[in-house]
């Protein structure tokens, strides 16, 4: 029986807050349940990768140690990206994002790529990958792209759907049999502005052209999607299944696992 893959998922942060009633003044690192269960569906073991940095740091464990041990990395969704990470200032105080998480995830991306291991970004994950390789973001779709459709509706959250066009001939489109137009969820208000050098767009929002998926050119698996495949009902035939994407990522992890040192 083949050895199970061990996949790392990046952490989300609740930073120390003296007003919080639970874990008062303590920093929490956590994962959202759906992303773990989605990767579990492919038969892989999932481990959250905690940041070793912080006010209570002890020992000499580094992110590189996790990259050595694990077979692949999934960057999950969550807080905004700090505009300073792509050389801008926040347009509004509420769009300050999470500077600490940015640095942690950019370092994670670098550690896994240096070891030839696959990296998959989901929502914020796609955005921080774009920033890590020199791209930029729109801080708010409604403010900076007034002609765009509604990409985030807090009232219905992951039940907000729209159509996207998979770019024919790309690896993502090929995985799905080049279906052209498909339907996905949409839970974001930031989006790619300048695409990072060396990346190819694999999907765009049908009605406004916003980048919905990309992949780094060359060998290895470095790719991201703007939607949340882990949130979508796999039994709903009107939605794009996350299964082919997951299995493609895990197959890349399997190949990296079997590659001679």
∠ CA 32-256-101, nearest 5°, is: 35
Catalytic residue among 12, 123, 188, 212: 123
Which letter, b or e, does each residue of 73-111 get, where b requires 16 or more Cβ atoms within 10 Å of its Cβ? bbbbbbbbbbbebbeeeeeeeebebbebbbebbbbbbeb
CA distance 152 to 104: 26
| Closest by CA position to 2, among listed 192, 239, 257 | 257
Do residues 119 and 169 touch, judged by C-beta distance below 8 A?
A: no
- Say whether 15 is catalytic: no
Which letter, b or e, does each residue of 182-192 get, where b requires 16 or more Cβ atoms within 10 Å of its Cβ? bbbbbbbbbbb
Q: Residue 212: in which H helix or E strand, if any?
A: strand 211-216
Catalytic residue among 105, 202, 212, 230: 230
- Say whether 123 is catalytic: yes
- Say whether 12 is catalytic: no
- The residues carrying an active-site annotation are 123, 228, 230
């Amino acid at each position: 029986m083949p050895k199970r893959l061990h996949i790392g998922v990046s952490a989300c942060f609740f930073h120390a807050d003296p007003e919080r009633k639970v874990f008062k003044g303590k920093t929490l690192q956590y994962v959202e349940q759906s992303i773990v269960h989605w990767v579990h569906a492919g038969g892989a073991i999932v481990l959250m990768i905690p940041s070793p940095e912080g006010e209570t740091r002890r020992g000499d464990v580094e992110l590189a140690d996790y990259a050595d041990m694990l077979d692949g990395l999934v960057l999950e969704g969550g807080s905004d990206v700090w505009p300073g990470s792509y050389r801008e200032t926040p347009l509004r105080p509420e769009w300050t994002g999470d500077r600490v998480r940015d640095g942690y995830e950019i370092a994670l991306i670098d550690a896994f790529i240096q070891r030839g291991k696959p990296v998959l970004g989901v929502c914020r994950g796609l955005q921080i990958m774009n920033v890590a390789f020199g791209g930029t973001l729109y801080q708010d779709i409604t403010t900076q792209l007034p002609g765009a459709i509604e990409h985030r509706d807090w009232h219905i959250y992951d039940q907000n759907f729209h159509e996207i066009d998979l770019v024919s001939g790309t690896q993502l489109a090929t995985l799905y049999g080049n279906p052209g137009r498909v339907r996905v969820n949409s839970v974001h208000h930031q989006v790619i502005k300048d695409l990072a050098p060396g990346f190819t767009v694999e999907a765009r929002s049908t009605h406004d052209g916003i980048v919905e998926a990309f992949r780094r050119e060359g060998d290895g698996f470095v790719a991201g999607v703007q939607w949340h495949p882990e949130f979508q009902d796999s039994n709903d035939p009107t939605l794009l299944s996350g299964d082919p994407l997951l299995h493609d990522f895990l197959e890349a992890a399997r190949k990296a696992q079997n590659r001679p040192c």
